[in-house]
Amino acid sequence: MSAFAGYRAVWAVPTARTILVLGLICRAPLFGAMVLLTLHVVERLDPRYSAAGVISMAATIAVGVSGPWRGRLLDRHGLRRTLLSSLIIVPTCWLFAPWGSYWLLLILVVVSGLFAIPVFALVRQALLGVIEPAQRKPALALDSVLAEMAFMTGPALAVWVAHYWGTAWTLTVFQMLCVAGGAALFIVNPPLRHAGSAAADESGPAVESASAGRRTSRWVTPGVLGIFALTIATTIALTATDLSVVAGLRSLEQAGSIGWVLAIWGLGSAIGGLLFGAMQRQVPPWLVVVALGFFTMPVLFARSDLSMAGLLFVAGLFCAPSFTATTEALSRLVPERSRGEAFGWHGSALTAGSALAAPAVGIAIDGFGWGAGFFVGGAITLVAAVVVGVLVGVRRQARPTTSEPLARTEG
């Protein structure tokens, strides 16, 4: 049980506990609303899935664009000043969006996405601000597991409620629940920087103003770019799995099993996240992502819903750990004063991975069958992670030779 002492230490911090619970409250309706958006379009506005795809793509792009600049606002102006515009604009958009025409929905989805509550960046930044540096890994692992719980429960609950209330009312309520979670974070107003380092970052208004324009370039290092590449690779594997599970079970004439098979995948991810967070040893992020890609490919050999669920459970063991490993590494590579923007770009990398994977995997499935989706997604993830790992190794080997002349010069 001592291996899980880190989780007890994190949960014992009242503010950390509050942040984790509010993060769950924000994310579950957010994941549900993403599914509801597609259902709402095809059931009420336009029966074509291509039309729903345009709406989803617009929402995804808007949220991806908003992440970095909203994260930068968190760094510069703090939580309350950043969230205030979101708490006004987002609920206003969703009071009208589900009840209007297709084009009104498209416009309001984009506006709402640009001012979306930066849930993922905000929760992680606030969490790191209230726990000790030694608790980063279990704290971020716990956050990843709760995000998996939100992913498993949010869409299922949204579809169930929409069956009775209709998509318009359900979409409105779920978006308002997400706003309510953001409002609660606004009221709690947790610190975004650790108390021990807050004084070190306060270098005065003049220094802050002079360095604002150069801040991004300082923290964007080859190591950070490698983490973003691993994040994209991780999302490619997950998007490929999502699409391939649907295609595979439909081809096997077991479409009714899609829900519980995906839930087993999510369960594997949650268990893997808990085990990874309890590990005392540091594992390189690229190695975790390699394992995710490697164990995603064999799912193509499934011949029933049961065998697919078993193979997905094994692959799922590396999903949450991949996110935890990349997030923890990013938190170590980026200074606290820039974490909001860095986590915003991390979110954009997630969006980019999904956008890149969907058409490539779709083409593979159409051309070679549903099994090709698992193979292509896993192979791309595996190769990308290996390339990052090789570059990390080369950089480490080159570091002594490049640092020696500098040491002589300084002497």
pLDDT tens track for 175-193: 999 899 889 989 988 887 7
Vertex 388: Cα angle to 383 and 393 (nearest 5) = 125
Distances (CA, A) of 87 to 127, 165, 176: 21, 25, 10
What pLDDT is attached to residue 38? Answer: 74
pLDDT at 26 > cutoff 60:
yes
- CB-based contact 175:33 (threshold 8 Å): yes
State the burial class of residue 122 (Cβ atoms within 10 Å of its Cβ: 0-12, 13-18, 19+). Answer: buried
- CB-based contact 212:335 (threshold 8 Å): no
* Poorest-pLDDT segment among 81-95, 198-212, 372-386, 389-403: 198-212
Same fold, 1-197 and 215-397: yes
pLDDT at 203 > cutoff 50:
no
Residues 6+ apart with CB under 8 A from 40: 98, 105, 167, 168, 171
pLDDT at 229 > cutoff 60:
yes
Distances (CA, A) of 261 to 114, 168, 313, 320, 324: 34, 28, 9, 17, 23
* Rounded CA separation 296/280 (Å): 26
Q: Which CATH number fits domain 1-197: 1.20.1250.20, 1.10.3720.10, 3.30.360.10, 1.10.287.310?
A: 1.20.1250.20
What pLDDT is attached to residue 88? Answer: 93
Vertex 271: Cα angle to 254 and 323 (nearest 5) = 95
pLDDT at 215 > cutoff 60:
no
* Rounded CA separation 185/131 (Å): 17
pLDDT at 355 > cutoff 80:
no
* Rounded CA separation 194/265 (Å): 35
pLDDT tens track for 49-86: 567 767 877 887 888 788 787 877 887 888 888 889 88
- Whether CATH 1.20.1250.20 fits 215-397: yes
Bin 191: left if φ > 0, else alpha if -120 < ψ < 50, else beta: beta
What pLDDT is attached to residue 202? Answer: 40
Q: What is the DSSP letter of 196?
A: H
* Rounded CA separation 165/171 (Å): 10
Written as one letter, the residue type at 211 is S
Burial 154-165, CB ≥16 within 10 A → b, else e: bbbbbbebbeee
* Poorest-pLDDT segment among 206-220, 278-292, 312-326: 206-220
Of the pLDDT bands very low, low, confident and very high (cuts 50, 70, 90), residue 343 is confident
**Domain ranges across the chain:** 1-197, 215-397
What pLDDT is attached to residue 8? Answer: 83
What pLDDT is attached to residue 288? Answer: 94
- CB atoms inside a 10 Å sphere around CB 394: 10
* Rounded CA separation 246/21 (Å): 31
